[in-house]
């Protein structure tokens, strides 16, 4: 069955993925045999470059779990990763053709299924890619799904997303995803480290996010985060910092409906954190 492709942002390009392969829930089969030697080589080179700069910049939980993805020389079969992941936290990876609409995305997360784009960028896009590809989704997101507390947070986020969709509050909740799961920073033993997938899969933003004096770094606070707009085409100008994954999980235990109501009356902050 053919589902509609999704385009976020102001992009003029059609999305890369072939959505005619997708089932009704937007998942598809990972066509592993279709990867070329060049695809595996791109993955290998991205993996090498990024894993080399993790010490001192990435959350320890991420570094510890990274080998669970399997051999770095080639794009893993998602089913192989699933043998380890499902045993660790009950999560499983499902292949998708690319970005999918919010409600099916939230639905998968609520079922502890993480959608992973199955295609990889072209060599000329080595440093920057507009849409998430398999390197971003797998290398960036999957290691922390091996952490039980973080894994529970992502599921709870999915459940919250389904509720936000019913309340017309997806945009506000998306900002929480952006500033935690994609671009979150954590303080570990007093030192700043990255745990967000958008940071961890980017060669340039990883040292920038953790060390540059340029961006603002604020303690994560729900209302503040959901009032802050974000940029999708540049390094972040504001990051939100947590003290532990438990803090993230506990913060989202509350009912968000009153927060959304409160947010309606509050001005937004620009992406640089100023009003
Ligand atoms: N689809 N495949 C995929 N990956 C995402 O990260 C993603 C998505 N659809 C929607 C979405 N993210 C955002 O709306 C988040 O804010 C939830
Ligand atoms: Fe992502």
The secondary element (H helix, E strand) that includes residue 164 is helix 148-167
Give the distance (Å) from ligand 2 centre to CA of residue 131: 9
Task: Using pLDDT thresholds of 50, 70 and 90, give the confidence band for residue 15.
Answer: confident
Q: Is residue 69 part of a domain?
A: yes
- Does some domain include residue 215? yes
Q: What is the pLDDT of residue 275?
A: 61
Which ligand 1 atom minimizes the distance to the CA of 177?
Answer: 16
User: ipTM strictly over 0.90?
Assistant: yes
Q: State the pLDDT confidence band at 130, using cuts at 50, 70 and 90.
A: confident
Q: Which residues pair with 194 in a beta bridge?
A: 58, 185
User: Is the confidence at residue 3, as pLDDT, over 70?
Assistant: no
Rounded to an integer, what distance in angstroms lies between the CA atom of residue 244 and that of residue 241? Answer: 9
The domain tally of the chain equals: 1
Residue 57 maps to a domain: yes
Question: Does residue 11 surpass a pLDDT of 60?
Answer: no
93: Cβ contacts below 8 Å, ≥ 6 apart: 78, 81, 82, 85, 113, 114, 116, 138, 142
Residues 42-95: tens digit of each pLDDT: 999 999 999 999 999 999 999 999 999 999 999 999 999 999 999 999 999 999
pLDDT score, position 1: 38
CA Rg, the chain, in Å? 18
- Asked whether residue 141 is marked as a ligand-binding residue, the answer is yes
CA atoms within 13 A on the CB side of 207: 7
State the residue range of the domain holding 186. Answer: 19-264
Q: Which atom of ligand 1 is nearest to the CA of 117?
A: 2
pLDDT one-digit tens code per residue, 149-169: 999 999 999 999 999 999 999
CATH number at residue 156: 1.10.800.10
Q: Ligand 2 centre and the CA of 117: distance in Å? A: 10
For CA atoms 116, 117, 123, 125, give the dihedral sign. negative
Residue among 102, 131, 182, 205 flagged as catalytic: 182
| 171 found inside a domain | yes
269 within some domain: no
Q: What's the mean pLDDT in 28-34? A: 96
Active site residue 111: no
Residue 275 within any structural domain of the chain: no
Distance from the CA of 245 to the center of ligand 2, in angstroms? Answer: 18
Domain assignment of residue 7, yes or no: no
* Position 93 in a domain: yes
List, in order, residues 6 or more apart from 42 with CB less than 8 Å away: 120, 121, 122, 123, 126, 135
């Amino acid at each position: 069955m053919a589902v509609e492709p999704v385009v976020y942002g102001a992009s003029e390009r059609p999305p890369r993925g072939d959505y005619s392969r997708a089932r009704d829930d937007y998942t598809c089969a990972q066509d592993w045999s279709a990867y070329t030697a060049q695809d595996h080589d791109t993955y290998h080179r991205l993996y090498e470059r990024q894993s080399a700069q993790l010490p001192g910049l990435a959350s320890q939980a991420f570094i510890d779990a990274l080998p669970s993805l399997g051999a770095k020389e080639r794009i893993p079969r998602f089913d192989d990763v699933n043998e380890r992941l499902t045993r660790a936290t009950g999560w499983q990876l499902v292949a998708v053709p690319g970005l999918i609409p919010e409600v099916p995305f939230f639905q998968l997360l609520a079922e502890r299924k993480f959608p992973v784009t199955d295609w990889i960028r072209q060599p000329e896009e080595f440093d920057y890619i507009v849409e998430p590809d398999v390197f971003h989704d797998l290398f960036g997101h999957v290691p922390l799904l091996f952490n039980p507390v973080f894994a529970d947070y992502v599921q709870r986020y999915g459940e919250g997303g389904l509720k936000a969709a019913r309340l017309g509050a997806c945009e506000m909740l998306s900002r929480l995803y952006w500033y935690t799961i994609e671009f979150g920073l954590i303080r570990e033993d007093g030192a700043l480290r990255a745990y967000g997938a958008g940071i961890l899969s980017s060669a340039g933003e990883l040292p920038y996010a953790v060390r540059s004096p340029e961006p603002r770094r604020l303690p994560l606070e729900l209302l503040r985060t959901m009032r802050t707009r974000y940029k999708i085409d540049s390094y972040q100008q504001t990051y939100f910092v947590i003290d532990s994954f438990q803090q993230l999980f506990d913060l989202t235990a509350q009912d968000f409906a009153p927060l959304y109501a409160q947010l309606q009356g509050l001005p937004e902050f620009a992406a640089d954190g100023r009003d």
